[in-house]
Amino acid sequence: MVHEQMEGRLEKLNELRSEGIEVYPERYTTNTELPDAALLEDGASGIRVAGRIMGIRNFKKLTFITISNIQGSLQLLLKKDEVGEGSFERFHNSVDIGDFIGVEGRMYSTRTGEKTLRIETYVFLGKALRSLPEKWHGLSNIETRYRQRYLDLLMTSDTQTRMLARSNMLRAIRRFFEDQAFIEVETPILQHTSSGALAKPFKTHHHALDTELNLRIAPETYLKRLIAGGFTKVFEVAKCFRNEGISPQHLQEFTMVEGYAAFWNYEDTMKLMREMVLYLLEQTFSTTTISISGQMIDFSQEWEVVSFRELILENTGIDIHLVPTPADLIDEIESRNIQLEHADLHALGRGNLIDLLYKKTCRPRLIKPTFLTQHPIDLSPLARANDEDPNVTDRFQLVVNGAEIINAYSELVDPIEQRRRLEVQALLKSNGDAEAMEMDEDYVTAMEYGLPPISGWGFGIERLLMVLTDQDTIKDCVLFPLTRKL
């Protein structure tokens, strides 16, 4: 059954075809992009542009038309005495908002100074069978915005701007690392184990090999294998998958940028990450000062550095160095009436318990860019232990507006210590901690062939964009967020 709103448009489509007009033609040659046309001098002729019609204002003998695409829009003028009565009437009888046209003409400026293309000829380039939304209601249509992102892109300028910023930011990231002599690589998404982070993987079955596989949660251990293979500076723009709960700050499918530098430590990486963030701000937004939660924050000012222990002690009164076991930590948490959201706290290892405590009581308070350092070793199975205090690691996270946007550390390169730590993780996993790591024999074997000192980092594109554009939910920072099937 034809949708009621489509009937009139189908009639126009059939009328065009009856006149021998190709409704969905093969191509159209343009010579100017829409935003560039507005920069042309009045009188410039032979200008050919194309786009979707987003507005039509009819007068008796002339019509103003607005066409647009993701990059911009342009006003067109269709005059009966310039294109002929037949073409003028055909436009009004056959064309709707949402349709595509290609036009050729010359530039002029209206009385109000708006650059406009006076149409000399036009070609029909595609009929829209459904009407575009007449009025966009923002958050009241949030379900439609995610399910039909193409409508959101057409109707919401903020979404257009943000998604273009994402593309520009990715381009700047690649340029930044390449300028620092890093080589871009690709590593497998299908993996036998789920190493590189504390997260629950998605599982799949490989029919040809008849084996169970995981979708990667991080590219980390493969990138380190490349360091073992002779690379010294590598990075990857990697699709990752974590089978975790939905929240305003988490996506189950996301894009991570991860990289490693041989012979560096985490302090070298801290310097690099600050330079990178400032570079991205300048390249993407043309400023280092942006509005976050109502505050204007200048990222070019000094960033605070605070340790995990100091932060938790300040906010909860708990000294994590004095609670060596998970049971001791749970007792301390409960004695202070701190409620942590988890189905079974007693199934968690000490590291994940500390992480939950930090996320509940500390992280939301960190608004300005802050380097959080000295994470407990339980929380960092792949990071190098600090030489002076082996209970903490040489690690940092960059936190802005209550969100962790960069994670980095001096890597653990001792294969004996790595095996011991992964065995601890494997035991936690077998006891019910779904986010603990598995034993990864192949990776440990690579380590046994020798690794130099290494520092590495990782950050999610969506999380970074969410913070830098001051969004409330990470779904607004990906083109097509996953939604429940209707």
Q: State how far Cα 21 lies from the chain centre.
A: 42
* C-alpha torsion sign, points 407, 197, 443, 421: positive
462 has pLDDT over 90 = yes
Q: What is the mean pLDDT of residues 7-27?
A: 94
50, pLDDT greater than 90: yes
Q: What is the mean pLDDT of residues 186-204?
A: 88
Relative orientation angle of helices 85-94 and 4-18, to the nearest 10 degrees: 150
Whether residue 367 contacts residue 402, with contact meaning beta carbons closer than 8 Å, is answered with yes
Lowest mean pLDDT across 60-64, 160-164, 283-287, 345-349: 345-349
Task: Spell out the residues 6+ positions from residue 481 whose beta carbon is closer than 8 angstroms to its own.
Answer: 146, 149, 251, 475
d(CA 50, CA 31) in angstroms, rounded, equals 10
What is the rounded average pLDDT for all residues in the chain?
92
Residue 140 banded pLDDT, cuts 50, 70, 90: low
Residue 264 has pLDDT above 60, yes or no: yes
**List of domains in the chain:** 4-126 (2.40.50.140), 154-303+368-477 (3.30.930.10)
Q: Is the pLDDT reported for residue 134 higher than 80? A: no
pLDDT digits (tens, 9 = 90+) for 216-243: 999 999 999 999 999 999 999 999 999 9
Q: What percentage of residues in the chain have a pLDDT greater than 90? A: 74
Lowest-confidence segment of 180-189, 278-287, 428-437 by average pLDDT = 428-437
Q: Look at residue 3 in the predicted model and tell me its pLDDT.
A: 67
Q: Has residue 139 got a pLDDT over 50?
A: no
pLDDT tens track for 403-423: 999 999 999 999 999 899 888
Per-residue model confidence (pLDDT) at position 194: 78
